[in-house]
Chain A
Amino acid sequence: GIQVEQSPPDLILQEGANSTLRCNFSDSVNNLQWFHQNPWGQLINLFYIPSGTKQNGRLSATTVATERYSLLYISSSQTTDSGVYFCAVINTNAGKSTFGDGTTLTVKP
């Protein structure tokens, strides 16, 4: 099946810093989503981005489908950004959605 690798696995930032999270995938995909899982376990949809670039406030994401990676940018990080960020991909031929192992972000005040 498709492999999804996220890096780094853990990231500690000082409030106000910027960061880039990466998601690599091993096959072509029809869907790619970035999620933030808060401390209560809720998965919040950040971006649906099978290709191209999108921005939402301090967050932006870029997917280069031909090179099989996606990047999530967080600018001016806040303590509320802490949590686990997951990348999830779907290849409809394989018929299965696959999550990466996540990046655990800790933003310190």
Chain B
Amino acid sequence: DAMVIQNPRYQVTQFGKPVTLSCSQTLNHNVMYWYQQKSSQAPKLLFHYYDKDFNNEADTPDNFQSRRPNTSFCFLDIRSPGLGDAAMYLCATSREGRGDTQYFGPGTRLTVL
């Protein structure tokens, strides 16, 4: 059974054209995370939601925004993608708090042309 679902799995966008990535979960977890992973690098946390409370990492570019309309869904909006934003974007959830086990979705691989 799918627990953390990401759509689409592959996304191609043009330089500067806004794009939205989607994540949904069936675990009813309170916390949802977005990570960026570039080739041959470790995942880097962009931000997370604890319920409706948004927490942005200090070094996350303003170009990246997120929305969580309800417990199940979380979106990553890239307002003006640059070539450097091409990466794998990973969504994760945890039941409670940042110290809890994280469960990852399959990721969305973003290509910027």
Residues of A at under 8 Å CB distance from B? 30-31, 33, 35, 40-45, 48, 50, 86, 88, 90, 92, 95-97, 99-102
Contact = CB atoms under 8 A, between A and B. Distances in A.
Instruction: Give me the 7 closest cross-chain CB pairs, A-B, nearest first.
Output: A30-B99, A99-B42, A43-B104, A48-B101, A31-B99, A41-B107, A92-B99
Q: For this complex, into which size category does the number of interface residues on chain B fall?
A: 20 to 34
Among A41, A50, A102, the most chain B Cβ lie within 10 Å of the Cβ of A41
Given A31-B101, A92-B99, A86 B107 contact: no
A45 B102 contact: yes
Interface of B: 33, 37, 41-45, 55, 57, 88, 90, 92, 97-104, 106-107, 109
A103 to B, nearest CB: 11
The secondary structure that dominates the A interface is strand
A44 B44 CA distance: 16
A96 B98 CA distance: 7
Contact of B45 (A41, A50, A92, A96): A96
Contact of A96 (B57, B103, B104, B106): B57
Given A33-B102, A42-B107, A90-B99, A95 B55 contact: yes
A43 B43 contact: yes
B109 A41 contact: yes
A93 B7 CA distance: 33
Contacts of A44: 104
B20 to A, nearest CB: 19
A45 B104 contact: yes
Contacts of B109: 41
A22 B57 CA distance: 27
Nearest to A42: B106
Given A40-B106, A45-B102, 9 more contacts: A41-B88, A42-B104, A43-B92, A86-B42, A88-B43, A90-B98, A95-B55, A96-B57, A101-B42
17 contacts: A31-B100, A33-B102, A41-B37, A41-B88, A43-B90, A44-B104, A45-B104, A86-B43, A90-B99, A95-B55, A96-B45, A96-B57, A97-B33, A97-B98, A97-B102, A99-B42, A102-B42
